């Protein structure tokens, strides 16, 4: 019996295509959660592979140079410097500094210049699993991966990964490589002043420089002052042993 005689009519091609796409999007979404969680867990033990940011740098024709070192081979000065400069609540928050987020939103409502509110945990999630740039979709994934690393990694591990994947300009990734190229010494031997100089350029490492062309001496001095506060109040206690 033909369809014209009362049998079931075949679905239009466009409808079948829509069903196919929706089905696979659903499968991909459901699979993403366990796979991404597994990736975060494994990377927490093994360390991250080359990141998207490193790949982007290489695609621009810039040689990528990095040296991984464990946290024990990194000076406490640079730990205090990045906490002072980037995230003074690092040891106490759950990955998100809600006070800074509220201030950023308030400034945006008042039409002021947008200010950053990303924590070290968020920057680590972005640097390891995502890429630089804006957009709500990327920001949403950043929140997701920040939640995962805060649940699966220790604060010390987050700091270790952050310092080893952060960019210091000119294709330099990781504090060990930056210390060797900028100051001709291992990261474990960085002085307070040198650590502050490295932390000072993190917001814009390809524009601000440590080697003399960087004009942020005032920021460097502010960071050194705040490093004293970090040490005094033990704001680095989750990373540095006292």
What sections of the chain are H helices per DSSP? 13-46, 52-59, 76-86, 98-109, 120-129, 136-152, 155-165, 175-183, 192-200, 217-232
Do 146 and 172 lie in one domain? The reply is yes
Do 174 and 110 lie in one domain? The reply is yes
Do 155 and 209 lie in one domain? The reply is yes
Do 56 and 175 lie in one domain? The reply is yes
Do 72 and 147 lie in one domain? The reply is yes
Task: Give the CATH number for residue 200.
Answer: 1.10.3810.10
Do 83 and 184 lie in one domain? The reply is yes
Chain mean position to CA 47: 14
Do 124 and 212 lie in one domain? The reply is yes
pLDDT at 213 over 50: no
What is the per-residue pLDDT for 111? Answer: 61
- The answer to whether position 2 is within a domain reads no
Q: How many CA atoms, within 13 angstroms, populate the side-chain half-sphere of residue 208?
A: 17
* Least confident segment among 64-68, 94-98, 183-187, 222-226: 94-98
What is the per-residue pLDDT for 42? Answer: 95
Do 102 and 190 lie in one domain? The reply is yes
- The answer to whether position 170 is within a domain reads yes
Do 188 and 82 lie in one domain? The reply is yes
- The answer to whether position 3 is within a domain reads no
pLDDT at 214 over 60: no
- The answer to whether position 240 is within a domain reads no
Tens-place pLDDT, residues 124-169: 999 999 988 778 888 999 999 999 999 999 999 999 999 999 999 8
Do 14 and 39 lie in one domain? The reply is yes
Residue 216: band (very low, low, confident or very high) from pLDDT cuts 50, 70, 90: low
- The answer to whether position 134 is within a domain reads yes
**What's this model's pTM, rounded to 2 decimal places?**
0.84
| 111 Ramachandran zone, left/alpha/beta (phi>0; psi -120 to 50) | left
What sign has the CA pseudo-torsion 23, 25, 28, 34? negative
What single DSSP character describes residue 167? B
Do 66 and 117 lie in one domain? The reply is yes
Rounded average pLDDT over 222-234: 96
The tokens of 44 are what?
Answer: 């927490």
Spatial CA neighbour of 57 closest among 171, 222, 155, 139: 171
- The answer to whether position 75 is within a domain reads yes
Residue 10: band (very low, low, confident or very high) from pLDDT cuts 50, 70, 90: low
Which three-class secondary structure state does DSSP give residue 172?
strand
What is the per-residue pLDDT for 56? Answer: 93
Q: Give the relative orientation of helices 175-183 and 192-200 as an angle to the nearest 10 degrees.
A: 110
| Domain tally, the chain | 2
What is the per-residue pLDDT for 143? Answer: 94
Residue 58: band (very low, low, confident or very high) from pLDDT cuts 50, 70, 90: very high
Cβ partners under 8 Å of residue 74, min gap 6: 160, 163, 175, 176, 187, 188
Do 177 and 57 lie in one domain? The reply is yes
Spatial CA neighbour of 73 closest among 143, 177, 210, 208: 177
What single DSSP character describes residue 114? P
Q: Which residue has the higher pLDDT, 181 or 7?
A: 181
The pair phi, psi for residue 15, each rounded to 5°, is -70, -40
- The answer to whether position 238 is within a domain reads no
Tens-place pLDDT, residues 63-72: 999 999 999 9
Distance CA 167, CA 216 (A): 18
DSSP codes, 7-51? SPPPPPHHHHHHHHHHHHHHHHHHHHHHHHHHHHHHHHHH---S-
- The answer to whether position 239 is within a domain reads no
Domain of residue 32 covers 10-46
């Amino acid at each position: 019996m033909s369809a014209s005689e009362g049998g079931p009519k075949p679905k239009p091609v466009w409808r079948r295509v829509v069903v196919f796409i929706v089905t696979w999007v659903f499968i991909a979404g459901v699979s993403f959660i366990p796979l991404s969680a597994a990736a975060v867990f494994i990377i927490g033990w093994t360390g991250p592979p080359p990141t998207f940011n490193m790949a982007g740098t290489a695609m621009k024709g810039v040689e990528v140079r990095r040296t991984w070192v464990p946290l024990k081979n990194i000076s406490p000065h640079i730990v205090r410097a990045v906490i002072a400069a980037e995230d003074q609540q690092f040891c106490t928050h759950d990955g998100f500094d809600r006070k800074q987020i509220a201030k950023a939103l308030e400034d945006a409502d008042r039409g002021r210049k947008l200010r950053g509110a990303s924590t070290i945990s968020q920057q680590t999630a972005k640097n390891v699993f995502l890429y630089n740039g804006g957009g709500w979709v990327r920001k949403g994934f950043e929140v997701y991966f920040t939640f995962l690393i805060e649940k699966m990694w220790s604060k010390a591990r987050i700091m270790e990964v952050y310092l080893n994947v952060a960019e210091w300009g000119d294709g330099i990734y990781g504090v060990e490589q930056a210390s060797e190229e900028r100051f001709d010494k291992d990261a474990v031997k960085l002085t307070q002043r040198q650590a502050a100089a490295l932390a000072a350029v993190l917001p814009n490492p390809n524009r601000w420089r440590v080697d003399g062309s960087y004009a942020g001496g005032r920021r460097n001095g502010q960071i050194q002052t705040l490093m004293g506060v970090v040490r005094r109040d033990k704001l680095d206690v989750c990373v540095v042993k006292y």
